[in-house]
Amino acid sequence: MNVSYEVKEHVAVLTINRPEALNALNTAVLQDLSLAAAQAEADSDVYVLVITGSGRAFVAGADIVQMKDLNAVEAKSFAEVANNIFSKIEGMSKPVIAAVNGYALGGGCELAMACDIRIAGAKAKFGQPEVGLGITPGFGGTQRLPRIVGSSKAKELIFTAETINAEEALRIGLVSKVVADDELMSTAMEMANKIAKNAQIAVRQSKDAINKGMQCDINTGLAYETQAFSLCFSTEDQKDAMTAYVNKSKLSEFKNR
């Protein structure tokens, strides 16, 4: 398998495991990634998914060995497969954290951007180098990068094929946190466990409202938020937590129902 998968309490850790190729994405890796993400989504005991890479890279990019001889029809099919998988990860009901170790270039940067939260190790490198290889980003880079860092900066990074370090990625908002490399997974797990302790219906409704709102005008987005907010008032979690707050007591845990 090109992907390892394990569950620690309520957190699933998906590790792309093709270190000899810096975890480059070929068809087999993409299929394994899709299966593991689907497993996390289907497991009711998993509340948060963490995605990382083995060795010196998160994902160094799509596999150029596989891509170099593709014709236009084959390239379209390859991009569609990847985009469908990344969109499924982005659309998961559960939060997804990218723990970015080492290189996150091309398809690797695009995979990280499909995740909800990105934490970078100090040595992480980000970029969309595709125009230097005669192609465009094909796994969502032209769409997600400007939504995250703004149109001007996204165009600069894509048009120049420049690679940036973790601190620059933090400055432009591509990642939310930079930590020492040896603290990357513990930081990601700490964040994941903090998320897992909250009311999961509320967490998932918040994610859904944010994702939908990013694709529409603010008034439509506010309607999505109102729907999410009101739905939470039909849950036991809301009743229990607010009753505990009013009674100045502490709720031990959420029932997630």
Which helix (H) or strand (E) is 239 found in, with range? helix 236-246
Kindly state the tokens that stand for 85.
């998988």
- For CA atoms 30, 50, 208, 148, the dihedral sign is negative
The one catalytic residue among 20, 74, 130, 183:
130
The one catalytic residue among 9, 110, 168, 225:
110
Q: How far apart are CA 135 and CA 80, in angstroms?
A: 15
Q: How far apart are CA 153 and CA 175, in angstroms?
A: 14
With contact defined as beta carbons under 8 Å apart, do 179 and 121 qualify?
A: yes
Kindly state the tokens that stand for 110.
């695009």
- For CA atoms 193, 213, 176, 6, the dihedral sign is positive
- For CA atoms 115, 121, 122, 125, the dihedral sign is negative
Is 253 an active-site residue?
A: no
Kindly state the tokens that stand for 50.
């963490």
Is 110 an active-site residue?
A: yes
With contact defined as beta carbons under 8 Å apart, do 144 and 104 qualify?
A: no
Kindly state the tokens that stand for 232.
């939470």
- For CA atoms 82, 179, 49, 144, the dihedral sign is negative
User: If DSSP codes are grouped into helix, strand and coil, which group holds residue 40?
Assistant: helix
Q: For the chain, give percent helix, strand, coil, nearest 5.
A: 55, 20, 30
Which residues form the catalytic set? Answer: 110, 130
